Chains A and B, each alone.
Chain A
Amino acid sequence: MRNESSALLKVDGLEAWYGESHILHGMNFEVHKGEVVTLLGRNGAGKTTTMKSVMGMVGKRKGSITFEGVETINLSSNKIARLGVALCPEERGIFSSLTVKENMVLPPIVKPGGLPLAEVYDLFPRLLERGGSQGTKLSGGEQQMLAIARILRTGATMLLLDEPTEGLAPVIVQHIGDIIRKLKERGFTILLVEQNFHFAATVADRHYVVEHGHVIDMIPNAELTSNMAKLKGYLGV
């Protein structure tokens, strides 16, 4: 059992609303330094809302979110980013009015220790070749790589990756899995939203299962095989 104080990100009793819609009903989970943790769940369970709440992008939220011991529940998203949290959004968020290079260097350096641009291009050589292209002219896989690549140089230590494999070809999914494992080796802490638990099993240390806006179970990756039937039941697959 881990000591609570070692949690890099700790979410406690998180509730969130979009307008009048109450989406999160007391989310509780934590992510420790250097871990890759996934949020698994059906569509509409509240996984993306959780990511956006951690990032400060949901207007109305209650409860507690601490990052490196700092309470962020009332902070604006730009201040949370400056603490060292970075989001790779579900829709990728590539800017069509910017080139690939401009998209790549858009996020400001928030902390020392980020990957130098040359190292980022070592991980994603295709992005260097396509540097002058309009961001949204890239293929879906390349856009996903760009969305991940641009947050690596910022110095953020906590990466929030929202469905990075969604709609991608198997070979690209495999490449993104390789990248996530390399990032883990380099010490990044990753919170991953996934629908594809087969992919999640290849990269994660632990899995939280989310249903109706709260966590209903936590399964260590080492115990995933023995819990497969239960997990399939949760996910309805």
Chain B
Amino acid sequence: MMTLFGIPTAALFGQLLLGLINGAFYAVLSLGLALIFGLLNIINFSHGAQYMMGAFVAWLGLTYMGANYWVALALAPLVVAAIGIVLERTMLSRLYKLDHLYGLLLTFGLALIIEGIFRQLYGISGIPYAVPKELAGGWNLGFMYLPIYRAWVVIASLVLCVGTWLLIEKTKLGAYLRAATENPALVQAMGINVPIMITLTYGFGVALAAFAGVLAAPIYSVNPLMGSNLIIVVFAVVVIGGMGSIMGSIVTGFMLGLLEGLTKVIYPEAASTVIFMVMVVVLLIKPAGLFGKGA
């Protein structure tokens, strides 16, 4: 058996892969949160519920309409984003000028309501969602076995994160978004329809969560609680990366997933808490986060 630092490579790389996959979800989810916080000033606690809705829309589409995984990957983000846009227009838009706490409380309440509805309708035992046949199976790399679907999740998440980063950092639309994050009133006075930009940004952030939910469906079962289990960790990732920092969310998401995986190999008892330990240290040393500005 091959070993590295006395650890079997299959176990080491297997856990690192699991960490990378978790990190991919952390990155995509915290990216959406960062976008929403940056422009809307809202800590979107319903992000986990929207991730769960993405997985459920995929399952419902398959069960009742025969829509396969690829159709779900394209449509579920649009469906959940549309629901998010309705919530933003009817509720969140009333809270932008208030303290963050109000938005957090509203979205926390919405998360509980959404999860409660799905729990009532579908229970909490979890519903399996098959890996698409094109991505079934895996590759034996010699030092580990790599399931194709899991490789796809990491690659798709990376492409999505890098694409979003490029959109924000290298395009005119991204410049509007960055400027509006700093001074929305002035950007609007330049002739930009900032309220529509805010609504679409919320929709895009929610769509990212739903996309991650569809990616997660074949790995974890589709479960009304799948979002609430993940969202606390994602918030820790956002705090560590820096609230509102796009690059911070992406890099921190992947790095902390890997750290979590590595901890599972070296000291499994600490695996579920290591991210929070890092969060405590970062808050004490650099409260604005590793990539955040100020403080």
List residues of A (61-107) whose CB comes within 8 Å of B's CBs.
76-78, 80-82, 86-87, 89, 93, 95-98, 102, 105-107
In the complex, which residues of chain A have a beta carbon less than 8 angstroms from the beta carbon of B178? 95, 97-98
Q: Do residues A98 and B179 form an inter-chain contact, with CB atoms below 8 A?
A: yes
How near does chain B come to A101, taking the closest CB pair, in angstroms? 10
In the complex, which residues of chain A have a beta carbon less than 8 angstroms from the beta carbon of B193? 78
How near does chain A come to B104, taking the closest CB pair, in angstroms? 24
List residues of B (186-208) whose CB comes within 8 Å of A's CBs.
186-194
Q: Do residues B179 and A77 form an inter-chain contact, with CB atoms below 8 A?
A: no
List residues of B (164-198) whose CB comes within 8 Å of A's CBs.
172, 175-176, 178-179, 181-183, 185-194
CA distance A206 to B85 in the complex (A): 49
In the complex, which residues of chain A have a beta carbon less than 8 angstroms from the beta carbon of B179? 95, 97-98, 106
Q: A82-B191, A106-B190 are known contacts. Are A77 and B175 too (CB-CB below 8 A)?
A: no
CA distance A191 to B175 in the complex (A): 28
Q: Do residues B182 and A97 form an inter-chain contact, with CB atoms below 8 A?
A: yes
How near does chain A come to B252, taking the closest CB pair, in angstroms? 19
Closest A residue to B183 by CB, please name it: A93
Partner of A78, one of B175, B181, B182, B189: B189
Q: Do residues B190 and A107 form an inter-chain contact, with CB atoms below 8 A?
A: yes
Q: A98-B175, A106-B175 are known contacts. Are A57 and B182 too (CB-CB below 8 A)?
A: no
In the complex, which residues of chain A have a beta carbon less than 8 angstroms from the beta carbon of B194? 78
How near does chain B come to A107, taking the closest CB pair, in angstroms? 4
Closest A residue to B169 by CB, please name it: A97
In the complex, which residues of chain B have a beta carbon less than 8 angstroms from the beta carbon of A76? 188
In the complex, which residues of chain A have a beta carbon less than 8 angstroms from the beta carbon of B189? 55-57, 77-78, 80-81, 87
Q: Is A128 an interface residue when CB atoms closer than 8 A count as contact? A: no
Number of interface residues, chain B, beta carbon within 8 A: 18
CA distance A76 to B193 in the complex (A): 9
Q: Do residues A107 and B176 form an inter-chain contact, with CB atoms below 8 A?
A: no
How near does chain A come to B132, taking the closest CB pair, in angstroms? 39
Q: Mark A95-134, 1 if CB is under 8 A from B, else 0.
A: 1111000100111101000000000000000000000000
How near does chain A come to B192, taking the closest CB pair, in angstroms? 6
In the complex, which residues of chain A have a beta carbon less than 8 angstroms from the beta carbon of B190? 78, 81, 86, 106-108, 154
Q: A95-B178, A97-B178, A98-B175 are known contacts. Are A108 and B183 too (CB-CB below 8 A)?
A: no
Q: A97-B178, A98-B178 are known contacts. Are A78 and B191 too (CB-CB below 8 A)?
A: yes
CA distance A107 to B176 in the complex (A): 9
Closest A residue to B190 by CB, please name it: A107
B contacts with A: majority SS? helix
Q: Do residues A57 and B185 form an inter-chain contact, with CB atoms below 8 A?
A: yes
CA distance A110 to B176 in the complex (A): 15
Partner of A77, one of B176, B181, B185: B185
List residues of B (31-77) whose CB comes within 8 Å of A's CBs.
none
In the complex, which residues of chain B have a beta carbon less than 8 angstroms from the beta carbon of A108? 190-192
CA distance A98 to B188 in the complex (A): 16
Closest A residue to B177 by CB, please name it: A97
Q: Do residues A95 and B191 form an inter-chain contact, with CB atoms below 8 A?
A: no
List residues of B (254-289) whose CB comes within 8 Å of A's CBs.
none
Closest B residue to A86 by CB, please name it: B190
Q: Do residues A78 and B186 form an inter-chain contact, with CB atoms below 8 A?
A: no
Q: A98-B175, A102-B175 are known contacts. Are A110 and B191 too (CB-CB below 8 A)?
A: yes
In the complex, which residues of chain B have a beta carbon less than 8 angstroms from the beta carbon of A97? 178-179, 181-182
Closest A residue to B193 by CB, please name it: A78
In the complex, which residues of chain B have a beta carbon less than 8 angstroms from the beta carbon of A57? 185, 188-189
CA distance A141 to B183 in the complex (A): 21
In the complex, which residues of chain B have a beta carbon less than 8 angstroms from the beta carbon of A106? 175-176, 179, 187, 190
How near does chain A come to B181, taking the closest CB pair, in angstroms? 7
Q: Which residues of A contact B (CB under 8 A)?
A: 55-57, 76-78, 80-82, 86-87, 89, 93, 95-98, 102, 105-108, 110, 154
Q: Which residues of B contact A (CB under 8 A)?
A: 172, 175-176, 178-179, 181-183, 185-194
A sample of 15 cross-chain residue pairs with beta-carbon separation below 8 angstroms, ordered by A number, consists of A57-B188, A77-B185, A78-B188, A78-B190, A78-B191, A78-B192, A78-B193, A78-B194, A81-B188, A93-B186, A98-B178, A98-B179, A102-B175, A107-B191, A108-B190
14 extra interface residue pairs, beta carbon distance < 8 Å, beyond A57-B188, A78-B193 = A55-B189, A56-B189, A57-B189, A77-B188, A77-B189, A78-B189, A78-B190, A78-B194, A81-B188, A86-B190, A89-B186, A95-B178, A95-B179, A106-B190
